[in-house]
């Protein structure tokens, strides 16, 4: 089949995928066009902020991971402490990771 991509454990066909995306887009476009297009300009365009004036402008997407920092704070503090800036420490970590990987490969019979 033209355009087929095989991986060791799976496959997909991007050409068929694009064709299906186009057909699905046409279906959605037709569905969407049955809805009302217009709205009155004015007060209803002001974002809802529980009756207060909402702050203007956008909040940057760089705040996206706030929940992670908040909930995994101890983990991030631990990670920061590990980043000492001393090259000897980083080499030390590299050696530990290589030993763990070699041990895992040896256990799996791949060495």
- Chain residues that interact with another protein, rule: CB under 8 A: 1, 4, 6-7, 9-13, 16-17, 19-21, 23-25, 27-29, 31-32, 34-40, 44-50, 54-59, 61, 63-68, 70-72
Give the nearest distance from C-beta 13 to another protein in angstroms: 4
| Nearer to another protein among residue 18 and residue 94 (C-beta) | 18
Read off the tokens for 30. Answer: 């037709």
| Nearer to another protein among residue 7 and residue 88 (C-beta) | 7
Give the nearest distance from C-beta 110 to another protein in angstroms: 14
Give the nearest distance from C-beta 53 to another protein in angstroms: 11
Residue 52 is classified by DSSP as S
How far apart, in Å, are the Cα atoms of 13 and each of 9, 19, 57, 63, 88? 14, 10, 41, 36, 47
CB of 15 within 8 A of CB of 1? no
Give the nearest distance from C-beta 99 to another protein in angstroms: 21
Within 8 A by CB and 6+ apart from 102, the residues are: 111
| Nearer to another protein among residue 25 and residue 84 (C-beta) | 25
Measured between its terminal Cα atoms, the distance across the chain in Å is: 38
């Amino acid at each position: 089949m033209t355009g087929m991509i095989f991986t060791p454990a799976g496959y997909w066909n991007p050409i068929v995928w694009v064709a299906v995306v186009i057909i699905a887009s046409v279906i959605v476009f037709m569905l969407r066009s049955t809805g009302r297009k217009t709205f009155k300009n004015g007060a209803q365009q002001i974002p809802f902020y529980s009756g207060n004036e909402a702050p203007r402008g956008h909040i940057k997407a760089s705040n996206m991971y706030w929940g992670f920092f908040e909930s995994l704070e101890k983990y991030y503090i631990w990670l920061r402490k590990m980043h000492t800036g001393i090259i000897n420490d980083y080499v030390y970590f590299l050696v530990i990771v290589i030993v763990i990987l070699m041990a895992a490969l040896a256990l799996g019979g791949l060495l």
